[in-house]
Amino acid sequence: MSATLTLKPGKDQSLRRLHPWVFSGAIARMQGEVVEGEVVSVLAANGELLGVGHYAPGSIAVRMLDFGTEAQLPDAAFWEQKLRNAYQLRQRLGLTGTGNTNVYRLVHAEGDGLPGLIIDVYGDTAVVQAHSAGMYKARPLIAAALQAVLGENLRAIYDKSAETVPAKAAPDAQNGYLLGESTGQEHVVEENGHRFAVDWETGQKTGFFIDQRDNRALLARYAPGRRVLNTFCYTGGFSVYALQAGAELVHSVDSSKKAIELTNRNAELTGLQDKHEAYAQDVFSFLKDRHNQYDLIVLDPPAFAKHLSARHNALMGYKRLNVAGIKQIAPGGLLFTFSCSQVVSMELFEGAIMAAAIEAGRPARILHRLTQPADHPVSLFHPEGEYLKGLVLAVD
């Protein structure tokens, strides 16, 4: 029998609308031994079972796994069914290795009904990241479910949760293989026919920013014959697409020397590295003296705000960055600009970009509004899951 949390009167409505979070302020009382990472039952004030979820101290006290009066504690069958549902969606999207793409997101947290869990697939390896103590404790069941669902398509499971699980919940967490082992060889995956070397063991996130796949494909439509600058390039995703689409030249910038090494390696895989140069340099410094040198610029910075308290400063940061980009781009150029800060809405982001264009003194028109791809789904009941937003601007 799990511990139970009873909500205050009237605080059950969000769960009845299937929103997956229970905030600490909604809880009237706790019964039983409530331990971080354990599954708890959530009751309405009248004692009705609303569902079950993982408990964690803090603002978001419970992340729901199942809803309704028939909700049960998750067992092996629960995890397998959840992962099978997620996999079947990716099959329908044509992302499970049947075409020219073998890298995709298999589980996108709340978007797949599994708050706190990310699973990315790179060929025959699944990379798992637990963002909550509950998901961290469930890793053995998750690994078993992955083997059941992916079968012979799965060679290895790499757990990269040490970087994301709350330190107090798992102070001794270490990254490592839950299945298989390192091959000691370079890992090369394919996305829309483009080859990328991916380092999921020591790279950022799970090794590659899968969420920009569709936006990279869009950039390829506009890259032919253009001089392209890809800032905050990480592994050079946009750079590779631009090179293979026929860009006149491509320059990549990132403050991380390791990122630049990965970008250069991926440029080599295109066979077009003679058209590419990479710079391990601060983006703001790089942009200072580049007037009219580029007619397509990508501004894809890391999240400027991870909490509401940082949102104002983030908006100022987006404005400052885009002022620099808009000032430097050649007349008639295209600006691909992004925010991956969940707490910054598209409306606020667009406002910051408008303010940047005004300060830069350049007319600009919106050609596209961009978001994350279909393997990063947003639950209709959890709109907060729509974190990636972007604009393509034509700058006169």
Residue 143 CA to residue 230 CA, distance in Å, equals 36
Nearest to 16 by CA among 37, 38, 43: 43
Q: Is residue 195 part of a domain?
A: no
pLDDT digits (tens, 9 = 90+) for 68-101: 999 989 999 999 999 999 999 999 999 997 679 9
Could you tell me if 110 and 44 lie in one domain? no
Could you tell me if 237 and 270 lie in one domain? yes
Q: What is the mean pLDDT of residues 347-366?
A: 97
Residue where a domain terminates, one of 67, 87, 105: 67
Task: Determine the pLDDT at residue 269.
Answer: 96
Could you tell me if 146 and 273 lie in one domain? no
pTM, entire model:
0.94
Q: What is the CATH number of the domain that holds 37?
A: 2.30.130.10
Residue 86 CA to residue 149 CA, distance in Å, equals 10
| Two structure tokens written together for 332 | 């008639």
Could you tell me if 253 and 178 lie in one domain? no
Task: Determine the pLDDT at residue 305.
Answer: 67
| Two structure tokens written together for 168 | 């107090």
pLDDT, averaged across the chain: 95
Task: Determine the pLDDT at residue 40.
Answer: 97
Could you tell me if 169 and 253 lie in one domain? no
Q: Please identify which of the residues 329, 340, 344, 352 carries the catalytic annotation.
A: 340
Q: Is residue 232 part of a domain?
A: yes
Could you tell me if 339 and 222 lie in one domain? yes
SS3 content of the chain, % helix, strand, coil (to 5): 35, 25, 40
Q: Is residue 194 part of a domain?
A: no
233 is catalytic: no
Q: Is residue 191 part of a domain?
A: no
Q: Is residue 274 part of a domain?
A: yes
pLDDT band at 384 (very low <50, low <70, confident <90, very high): very high
How many Å separate Cα 251 from the centre of its chain? 24
Q: Any residues with CB less than 8 A from the CB of 313 and at least 6 apart, and which?
A: 304, 305
CB 344 within 8 A of CB 318: yes
- Does residue 226 sit in helix, strand or coil? coil
Phi/psi at 8 (nearest 5 deg)?
-70, 155
| Two structure tokens written together for 76 | 């092996």
Q: What is the mean pLDDT of residues 217-229?
A: 98
Q: Is residue 204 part of a domain?
A: no
Q: Is residue 196 part of a domain?
A: no
Q: What is the CATH number of the domain that holds 152?
A: 3.30.750.80
pLDDT band at 391 (very low <50, low <70, confident <90, very high): very high
Task: Determine the pLDDT at residue 369.
Answer: 98
pLDDT digits (tens, 9 = 90+) for 176-222: 999 999 988 999 999 999 999 999 998 888 889 999 999 999 999 99
Could you tell me if 218 and 166 lie in one domain? no
Domain count, the chain: 3
Q: Which domain holds residue 55?
A: 4-67
Which strands form 27-31's sheet, in the order they lie side by side? 21-23, 60-67, 49-55, 39-43, 4-7, 27-31
Quote the radius of gyration of the chain (alpha carbons, Å).
22
pLDDT digits (tens, 9 = 90+) for 278-306: 999 999 999 998 989 999 999 999 888 67
Residue 52 CA to residue 207 CA, distance in Å, equals 32
Could you tell me the CA-to-CA distances from 12 to 16, 66, 112, 123, 183 in Å, in that order? 6, 15, 22, 42, 49
Residue 47 CA to residue 113 CA, distance in Å, equals 24
Could you tell me the CA-to-CA distances from 179 to 146, 151, 156, 172, 185 in Å, in that order? 10, 12, 5, 20, 17
- Over pLDDT 90: what percentage of the chain? 89
Task: Determine the pLDDT at residue 11.
Answer: 97
Q: Any residues with CB less than 8 A from the CB of 72 and at least 6 apart, and which?
A: 52, 66, 78
Could you tell me if 374 and 285 lie in one domain? yes
Q: What is the CATH number of the domain that holds 329?
A: 3.40.50.150
pLDDT digits (tens, 9 = 90+) for 13-37: 999 999 999 999 999 999 999 999 9
Could you tell me if 57 and 166 lie in one domain? no
Residue 236 predicted with pLDDT over 90? yes
Could you tell me if 36 and 111 lie in one domain? no
pLDDT digits (tens, 9 = 90+) for 300-329: 998 886 777 888 888 999 999 999 999 999
Residue 373 CA to residue 120 CA, distance in Å, equals 13
Q: Is residue 17 part of a domain?
A: yes
pLDDT digits (tens, 9 = 90+) for 41-77: 999 999 999 999 999 999 999 999 999 999 989 999 9
Residue where a domain terminates, one of 152, 185, 218: 185
**Positive or negative torsion for Cα 310, 387, 282, 315:** negative
Q: Any residues with CB less than 8 A from the CB of 185 and at least 6 apart, and which?
A: none
Could you tell me if 80 and 26 lie in one domain? no
Could you tell me if 308 and 165 lie in one domain? no
